[in-house]
Structure 1
Amino acid sequence: MHINTDTRPLVLIWELTQACDLACDHCRADAVPDRHPEELTTAEAKSLLDDAREFGEGQLVVFSGGDPLKRDDLIELVEYGTEIGLNVTLTPSGTASLTRDRIDRLADAGLRRMALSIDGPSPDAHDSFRGEAGSYTDTIAAARMATDAGIPLQVNSTVCQRTVGGLPGLRDVVRDLGAVLWSVFFLVPIGRGTALSPISPERSESVMEWLQTVADEEPFGVKTTEAPHYRRVGIQRREDEGTDATGSRSRSMGITAGDGFAFVSHTGELFPSGFLPKSAGNVREHSVVDLYRTADLFERLRDPDALTGKCGACPYRTVCGGSRSRAFATTGDPLGSDPLCPYVPEGYDGPLPADG
């Protein structure tokens, strides 16, 4: 099904809460143990889901956090979203709270997919990154229980200097768990993530090329998050092999912050992404549909010709567009160049991200 990202997002994420028992090194949310008193209430949450249904049939809504299991009404909200025709998925934290009973109840409520974060191929590597001993064991157990309950599994992994060496081992873990998708997130320096070191642009390019090979060889899908130049790398690879169809550079593909992607915070603010915390308004006061379609920030992010620097001059800008979140985090300008991408368009002689 083709979706016009000018009128609806492919992915709408709702951060149910910022409460979480983990203290992950890369946490965007600076998560805390206790729930915020101004979180959306159950009634407000159902109103948000009703509005999201107006995007169109089968709208994908991801329940995220923090740890969404911190909310007592989680099962009720999954069931409600499913009943009104939404495709509801979940990204819980890998803790002992993911019991078999809870997972079975989520399956019965209609959950369409569970995404679990695994950031190292061993307990030591994962647990040190997640800030909780036993997290790896709990996450692997939850992954197997989700599969047993008939819930398709997605594995999310963070790429930074600390974790990049573990990617080959993680590939094996993803395969062994029978996951349907490996979502590889490239660090954006926000929240606790500002204390971590990203990989270099050159290293990111080699990781992208390796991930293209993984996608060709494995039974699971591969996608990147906050690294849309993965699509540019794939197109260049097919062009080099002579297997790419004419016009691929001009096609619109994938999603970026504000263009096919939107994020509702725990207090109802609508952001282009959780990693681009610039509000377009609050869903308590306005329909999420109206905000997504008409907010000036979102309209500008959906215009590839509004991009500046080398991203604005790039012939791949309609299929990539660069990470708007990383551009905002590093320059303060959501339309600026993505510093993680090493590609320089032919003939471009303007400033590079490292030059400001």
Structure 2
Amino acid sequence: MVAFGNDASGDPFADRPFLVFWEVTRACALACRHCRAEAQPQRHPDELDSDEARRLMHQLAELRPPMLILTGGDPLMRRDVLELARLGSDLGLRVGLSPSGTPRLLNTDFHKIREAGIDRISLSLDGASAATHDAFRGVTGTFDRTLQAVHRAHRAGLSVQINTTLTGGNLAEFDAFRDLMFQLKPAMWSVFLLVPTGRAGAKEMASPQDIERIFEQMADLVGTAPFAIKTTEGHHFRRVLAQRGKGGDKGRQGMRSPLGIRDGRGVMFISHTGEVSPSGFLPMVCGNVRLTHPAEIYRQHPLFVSLRDNDALGGKCGRCEFRKICGGSRSRAYGVTGDPFAEDPSCLYQPTAKP
């Protein structure tokens, strides 16, 4: 894995993103209630074709992000996805895959996924039982297929990450989720806080008080659970860990992302048609890889530059003493207020003093 550190400006995220999410297709057989992509059964006619996709993979290799995640939709709906993964791996990229829990996944040889150079596979469990997960995903049998996929991935020697979206509707299952993680033993449990975009609405968000309570319970697991724990669009979990004295290496057990990473600041998203945004949950288009090298967009677009500036944040996020390790969800701020620099509405913390 390539080194990652400060450039001459002192900003560790100025030169390149740590994570690139490439939505290789928007096609998916599921109908998830919260789907960011509002995925459809068929591939989009303007999707990057094979030649364009290979060209992009070479450009990403020049950019050298420490992690590239091929996502969707369902990336397995794109027939050449494993060929693209192999190309990326051959070019020196560390490649992850985020497929959907469908029959297509179980009909795929997991050893071929591994042979394609895939380093990690991420699977979603948004209900701790078949009834709740399948209702969330919109297709019966998804829960059982996902469990089968976890076991097959383990047997194939793939690192497994399990993603769980927390909403106001499934918070009561947190203890059951935790117990399920102890059974499945992923390398990483990534807990995602809902962002109102795509099919997800603000009314489905959990309250800041409930989130704080859950984060306290998650913090109890850090350093003791047999899996690493991180949040997605729940950056103030880092503040909870720091308040407990777990904000250093111990608090980042198994987490390779540098502290302070967030939408546009160490993160870049590329859509199925080549549009570049600060993240998949912050749908503000900054350019298209068909016309501009992704490195140029990430380094020079005014939105990306501003999102990397901790002092550009508004509201209490801009005053917060934890803003350099957190900074709040820029996607959620945008989804709720229309301003990507507003304070994160899901954090109840009040800064103790102006830094």
Q: Considering the TM-score relative to the shorter chain, is it more than 0.5?
A: yes
Deviation at 1:263, TM superposition (A): 0.3
C-alpha distance in 1 between matches for 2:330 and 2:208: 16
Aligned to 2:84: 77
Aligned to 1:300: 306
Matched-pair contact (CA < 8 Å) for 2:60–2:294: yes
Matches within 5 A, 1:232-247: 232-238=239-245
Instruction: Give 2:92's aligned amino acid.
Output: G
2:330 to 320, 324, 329: 324
Q: CA–CA distance in 1 between the matches of 2:181 and 2:331?
A: 27
Which residue type is aligned with residue 6 of structure 1? A
Structure 2 residues without counterparts, runs of 5 or longer? 6-11, 251-257
| Contact preservation (8 Å) 1:18, 1:35 | yes
Report if the CA contact (8 A) 1:82-1:110 is conserved.
yes
**1:224 aligns to what SS in structure 2?**
strand
Matches within 5 A, 1:205-216: 205-216=212-223
CA distance change for structure 1 residues 316 and 151 in 2, over 3 Å: closer, same or farther?
same
Residues 25, 196 of structure 1: 8 Å contact kept: no
Residue 123 (1) aligns with residue 130 (2): yes
Q: Partners of 1:51 and 1:347 in 2: how far apart?
A: 44
Which one of the candidate residues 200, 207, 213 is aligned to 1:193?
A: 200
* Of 171, 179, 200, the match for 1:172: 179
Q: Does 1:49 align with 2:51?
A: no
1:344 to 329, 337, 350: 350
Deviation string for 1:257-306 (max 9, x for gaps)? 00011100111011001000001100110111111111100000000101
Picking from 281, 285, 293, the partner of 1:287 is 293
**Which of 20, 24, 27 pairs up with 1:12?**
20
SS of alignment partner, residue 69 of structure 2: strand
The farther-off stretch of 47-56 and 152-161 is: 47-56
Q: Shift of residue 101 of structure 1?
A: 4.0
Alignment of 1:8-47 (within 5 A): 8-47=16-55
Render the CA deviation track for 1:125-151: whole Å, top value 9, x for unaligned. 110111110000111111111111111
Give the alignment's TM-score, normalised by structure 2.
Answer: 0.92
SS state at 2:150 partner = helix
Q: Aligned letter for 2:298?
A: Y
Corresponding residue number in structure 1 for 2:261: 255
Whole-Å separation in 1 of the counterparts to 2:143 and 2:312: 43
What do you get for the CA RMSD once the two structures are aligned?
1.8
Partner of 1:152: 159
Percent sequence identity over matched residues?
44
TM-score, length of structure 1 as denominator length: 0.91
User: What is the CA deviation profile of residues 23-69 of structure 1, one whole-angstrom value per residue up to 9, with x for unaligned ones?
Assistant: 1111111111011001111111111111111123x631100000001
Report how far residue 102 of structure 1 moved. Answer: 3.0
- Which residue in the other structure is 1:182 paired with? 189
Amino acid at match of 2:232: T
- Tell me, in whole angstroms, the C-alpha distance in 2 between the residues paired with 1:288 and 1:204: 35
Partners of 1:26 and 1:196 within 8 A in 2: no
Deviation at 1:219, TM superposition (A): 1.0
The alpha-carbon deviation at position 196 of structure 1 amounts to 5.1
* Alignment deviations for residues 64-122 of structure 1 (CA, whole Å, 9 cap, x no partner): 00000111111111111111111110100011111264322111111100000001111
Structure 2 residue 280 is the aligned partner of structure 1 residue 274: yes
* Secondary structure of 1:112 counterpart: strand
Alpha carbons of 1:101 and 1:322: their partners in 2 closer, same or farther (altered >3 Å)? closer
1:177 is displaced (CA, Å) by 1.7
Deviations 1:311-333 (A, max 9, x none): 11111111110000000111111
The answer to whether 1:2 aligns with 2:13 is: no
* Structure-2 residue corresponding to 1:105: 112
**Contact 2:106/2:145 (<8 A) preserved:** no
- Aligned equivalents of 1:196, 1:63: Cα separation in 2: 30
Offset from partner CA, 1:215-259 (integer Å, 9 cap, x none)? 2320100000001101111111118x9x99xxxxxxx71410000
Report the residue type matching 2:305 in the other structure.
E
Sort the Cα spacing of 1:153 and 1:42 in 2 relative to 1 into closer, same or farther, 3 A: same
